[in-house]
Amino acid sequence: MPLSSSAHPDSTAPLPFADLTVLELASVLAGPQVGQFFAELGATVLKVEAPAGDVTRTWKTPAEAPETDVSAYFSCANWGKQSIVVDLTTNAGQQQVQRLAARADVVLASYKPGDAEKLGVDYATLSQQNPQLIYAHLTGYGPQAARAGYDAVLQAEAGFMHLNAQPGQEPQKMPVAMIDLLAAHQLKEGVLTALYRRACTGQGALVEVSLLDSALASLANQAATWLVTGHDPRPLGSGHPSIVPYGTVYPASNGRSLVLAVGADRQFRNLCAALARPEWAADARFQTNEARVAHRRELETLLRQRIGEVDSDELLGQLEKLGVPAGAVRTVGEALTLESGQKMLLPAAKGGFPGLRTVAFGSSGWPQIGQLAAPPPLGQHSADWEAQSE
């Protein structure tokens, strides 16, 4: 039966992964994001950490309390998990993880090629005892390249930083670890595909994802521009290479800035009406998107001058009524305090802070995601799982 946006979730149904056990041998962001995704949807997610802990526990801003080992960065990807400390450089540690993997459905790993084999937690070893195991392995550059992968470097190497700059200015990386997040989606999709295949065949699988492949796969229209035309896309700041006006930031008279996303000629005519400049829509330079792209500089100069004369809130209200896509430039805090942002927050645990969901969809087939355990202190569940794995 097709899903309807008005359908009410079944509050009596279990979450879709309530019977799934995920063993997380991954650290930093991409792998842990996938672990939290499964935790939010009901899976038991056991995070295996080295004695020093996931390195992101130490990645703190100056505003964070120094005495806790749950940093803001760590908390962005580790809600709903249980943490155990295991020293995989020891035989006892390797045997403990092998016993846990024998009972798991999914293993998430982010080792450099060859390291999992040295630690006895590679797919070949773990699948011997558990042929139905799905082993999702994230690397920086693929299974044959021992080079470690870091988001900032991949943003540079895959072309993102080159494009993310104002014309004539130095390249900039994006303010979130975008390549890690793109790889997390690829890893998640690979695991879900393998779970479907296992449901059909009963067979486990090795799923391999690299940061580099994930980045290249996400270049979308920018890659297609080079492949189709042979011309390298050039930096345009936040502007769009084939749509104008789209993405450029325009400061308004009240100190707020806004962004336009005008993808159709009708929308441009309505924009001109809202700005009390209907003659622009009749100007041959701006009548069609193709013409506006050709005369980008002239149009953006006119828009910048005119929008600088008006109140952004009043203009945005007019544009919304006229069906012209536009929005205010907000801070992170402003975005999360809006009603739409509040719906994406995980409720704060007692005495703690709220979190951000990784699951941005709902369904009539399962209940809404409710309270989720806060990101665990290092080794909080070690004793419980040591007993269970003996």
Which are the catalytic amino acids?
A: 180
What are the phi and psi torsion angles at 326 (to 5°)? -165, 160
Q: Which of 123, 113, 283, 302 is nearest to 212 (CA)?
A: 113
Instruction: Give, in order, the Cα–Cα distances in Å from 331 to each of 11, 256, 310, 335, 337.
Output: 35, 11, 21, 6, 10
DSSP 3-state of 217: helix
The alpha carbon dihedral of 299, 224, 140, 156 has a sign of negative
- Three-state DSSP class for residue 206: strand
Among residues 382, 362, 383, 358, the alpha carbon closest in space to that of 372 is found at: 358
In residues, how long is the chain? 390
CA separation for the pair 211, 340 (Å, rounded): 31
Q: Which residue has the tokens 């779970």?
A: 195
Contact yes or no for 181/30 (Cβ under 8 A)? yes
The distance of Cα 61 from the centroid of its chain, to the nearest Å, equals 21
